[in-house]
Structure 1
Amino acid sequence: MKNITVESLVQRFKLTVLAGENKLQKVIVQPRVHRPGLEFVGHFDFFPTERVQILGRKEITYLHKLSHEERKLRIGNIVHYHPPCFIVTAGEEDLTYLIHHCTEQGIPLLATQKPEVTSEFIPKLDAFLIKALANETSIHGVCMNVSGIGILIRGNSGVGKSETAHTLIRRGHRLVADDLVVLKRLSHQTILGTHDGKTKEFLALRSIGLLNVVRLYGRKAFQDETRIALDIHLTKWEKDALYNDLEQELSEVDYLGVNIPSIQIQLQPGRDVAGLIEAAANNWYLKEQGYSAAEEFMSRIEAEAAKE
């Protein structure tokens, strides 16, 4: 199971540490946060104790209105479960009672540097945790964003993946990763493609060497990550292996339990592979919108036949 530390949240969101400075190495294993509500009135049947707990203006205002003894009871019931940390988004004023409880129980108490809208802060924190805790794997290939569509380009070493990526970049599309692509499973239907940090912005071309695509072509040539929608496998040309079917059936490739549509493109001198990838990406998008060129073509044929 992947995990990150509370300290990672402090650094990423520039949080102020109000208590538990020596407990920032506590691990977080759940990718979503929780905003306690029912727990303050004594209902703990479904309390997600392993999640980061968020205290917004509503929660802090409620606690402020309680008597000293009742507040001590309500907070004590929650800290008893030792969640990874508390984050206060409503400012740092009058939090002495929270600081006391968290210090006593060894739980980090954090606060945003300025009051934040809790409903806006939670999605940002959730997105960070989902990516940081996602299961991941690495594959050999190239990842591109073509017309807004994330594409994996695979094939044997030397088949021309990076050269094809370079042509796509020259046509206005964006590199995400070359050679080593990191795949992260964000949900049961979402795979995110990104780089490993070391290869960020770099593209390796045989006979040329290493290129920094941002320095060569500007910021528009690179994208940090993309959702993978299509897998393209570049293979050597096989005579009589291509067919002129009206519509090719897509196969699927499994990445971390998520099936990604996959097609094979055979290479031969003179074939515009980058253009074929552009066509494949745009055609995939149209199919996702419910359009099929083959179906429209057949409907025209049937309409013509009906006239005759």
Structure 2
Amino acid sequence: MKPVTVKHLVDRFSLEVLTGHDQLHRTIPKTRAHRPGLEFTGYFNFFPQEHVQLLGRKEITYLHTLSEHERNLHIGNIVKYHPPCFVVTRNQEGLKYLLKYCEEEGIPLLRTPAPTTKFQELVDVYLGKALAQEISVHGVCVNVSGIGILLRGKSGVGKSETAHTLIRRGHRLVADDIVVLKKISPETLLGTHNEKTKEFLALRSIGLINVSRLYGRKAFQEETRIVLDIELTKWQDDTLNNDLELEPKFTEYMDIRIPHIEIQLQPGRDVAGLVEAAANNWYLKQQGYSAAEDFMKRIQSDLG
């Protein structure tokens, strides 16, 4: 996980820097922005001082109703905790008292024209991803009909070639070779690229291709939620299961269990088609449908 600075926030959301230009290197260690409310009344027992402090119309309007002495007292108390930065929304003005204390304490004061609630949602999502626990794995990440899949296997087994076939069928590449996995929540695993490999796919005998340039922008996707872990392996006789429904297997990444499937490779086998089938079958199971159960019901109905 790379550190997130106030400068990153400024660049990401095109924020206006009112003061603290030389303090944009300050780090933001916590996700979620905080709107100070109780702190303006002097209650600081649970003040999340390491969070971005967001001042919307409600907060600024309240401060304007106070006397100069009260306003200076409340703002002075908050800035002493040295939060990473303050962000004023809706391009609100009349901020001389904020400028004064932020300049004295070396805290960046930023401003945006965006509405408070909308901006808070965007910041929370951005920081949630940027500060998420992450690991890098060797493989290929694709989005098949809206379903995020991690393709794994030994080098040269055909992961990139399978991804290329899927792209030609209208699906999307997320990352090739190095897949960055981010733990967004206890149940959510996000797959993305490492910037350097963005849009690139390495094909043996062909070389490096840019899928967006070759097949259009729809061939690439920045990130996707990983819901299937598919391992491509070499063909082994008499090892394929032909049961009506296989016993579920899982792979764990940062304590998140992802359904695992093994697909064996053989000349002439439509591996990309099997990946599509696995993705669509996973989706049907999420809707409560089981082909095996449906089949058994038909058998029992005939017997009855």
Q: TM-score range by the shorter chain?
A: over 0.9
Q: Secondary structure of 1:4's match? A: coil
Are the aligned partners of 1:6 and 1:85 in contact in 2 as well (CA < 8 Å)?
A: yes
- What letter matches 2:148 in structure 1? G
Partner of 1:287: 285
Partner of 1:124: 122
Partner of 1:4: 4
Partner of 1:244: 242
Are the aligned partners of 2:139 and 2:153 in contact in 1 as well (CA < 8 Å)?
A: yes
Are the aligned partners of 1:2 and 1:29 in contact in 2 as well (CA < 8 Å)?
A: no
Are the aligned partners of 1:40 and 1:74 in contact in 2 as well (CA < 8 Å)?
A: yes
Alpha-carbon shift at residue 204 of structure 1 (Å):
1.0
Pick which of 247-256 and 56-65 moved more. 247-256
- What letter matches 1:285 in structure 2? Y
Partner of 2:13: 13
Q: Secondary structure of 2:138's match? A: strand
Q: Secondary structure of 1:28's match? A: coil
Aligned-residue sequence identity (percent) comes to 68
Partner of 2:25: 25
Partner of 1:274: 272
Alpha-carbon shift at residue 42 of structure 1 (Å):
2.0
- What letter matches 1:20 in structure 2? G
In the alignment, the residues of structure 1 paired with residue 3 and residue 199 of structure 2 have an alpha-carbon distance, to the nearest angstrom, of 27
* Structure 2 counterparts to residues 1-308 of structure 1, below 5 A: 2-112=2-112, 114=113, 116-306=114-304
In the alignment, the residues of structure 2 paired with residue 125 and residue 3 of structure 1 have an alpha-carbon distance, to the nearest angstrom, of 15
What RMSD in Å do the two structures reach over aligned CA positions?
A: 1.2
What does the per-residue CA deviation read over 1:257-280, in whole Å, with 9 as the maximum and x for residues that have no partner? 211111000111121100000000
In the alignment, the residues of structure 2 paired with residue 6 and residue 215 of structure 1 have an alpha-carbon distance, to the nearest angstrom, of 34
Q: Which runs of 5+ in 2 are unaligned?
A: none
In the alignment, the residues of structure 2 paired with residue 22 and residue 223 of structure 1 have an alpha-carbon distance, to the nearest angstrom, of 36
Are the aligned partners of 1:102 and 1:109 in contact in 2 as well (CA < 8 Å)?
A: yes
- What letter matches 2:225 in structure 1? R
In the alignment, the residues of structure 2 paired with residue 255 and residue 144 of structure 1 have an alpha-carbon distance, to the nearest angstrom, of 17
Pick which of 225-234 and 197-206 moved more. 197-206
Pick which of 120-129 and 13-22 moved more. 13-22
In the alignment, the residues of structure 2 paired with residue 221 and residue 133 of structure 1 have an alpha-carbon distance, to the nearest angstrom, of 27
Alpha-carbon shift at residue 93 of structure 1 (Å):
1.4
In the alignment, the residues of structure 2 paired with residue 21 and residue 178 of structure 1 have an alpha-carbon distance, to the nearest angstrom, of 38
In the alignment, the residues of structure 2 paired with residue 107 and residue 167 of structure 1 have an alpha-carbon distance, to the nearest angstrom, of 52
What does the per-residue CA deviation read over 1:2-48, in whole Å, with 9 as the maximum and x for residues that have no partner? 53111111111111111222211111110111111111112222211
Aligned residue pair count: 304
Alpha-carbon shift at residue 244 of structure 1 (Å):
1.3
In the alignment, the residues of structure 1 paired with residue 20 and residue 199 of structure 2 have an alpha-carbon distance, to the nearest angstrom, of 39
Alpha-carbon shift at residue 61 of structure 1 (Å):
0.4
In the alignment, the residues of structure 1 paired with residue 267 and residue 107 of structure 2 have an alpha-carbon distance, to the nearest angstrom, of 64
- Tell me the TM-score normalized by structure 1: 0.96
Q: Which runs of 5+ in 1 are unaligned?
A: none
What does the per-residue CA deviation read over 1:47-96, in whole Å, with 9 as the maximum and x for residues that have no partner? 11110000000100000011111111111221121111100003241100
In the alignment, the residues of structure 2 paired with residue 80 and residue 136 of structure 1 have an alpha-carbon distance, to the nearest angstrom, of 33
Are the aligned partners of 2:57 and 2:92 in contact in 1 as well (CA < 8 Å)?
A: no
- What letter matches 2:93 in structure 1? E
Are the aligned partners of 1:2 and 1:135 in contact in 2 as well (CA < 8 Å)?
A: no
In the alignment, the residues of structure 1 paired with residue 213 and residue 73 of structure 2 have an alpha-carbon distance, to the nearest angstrom, of 59
In the alignment, the residues of structure 2 paired with residue 214 and residue 79 of structure 1 have an alpha-carbon distance, to the nearest angstrom, of 47
- What letter matches 2:91 in structure 1? G
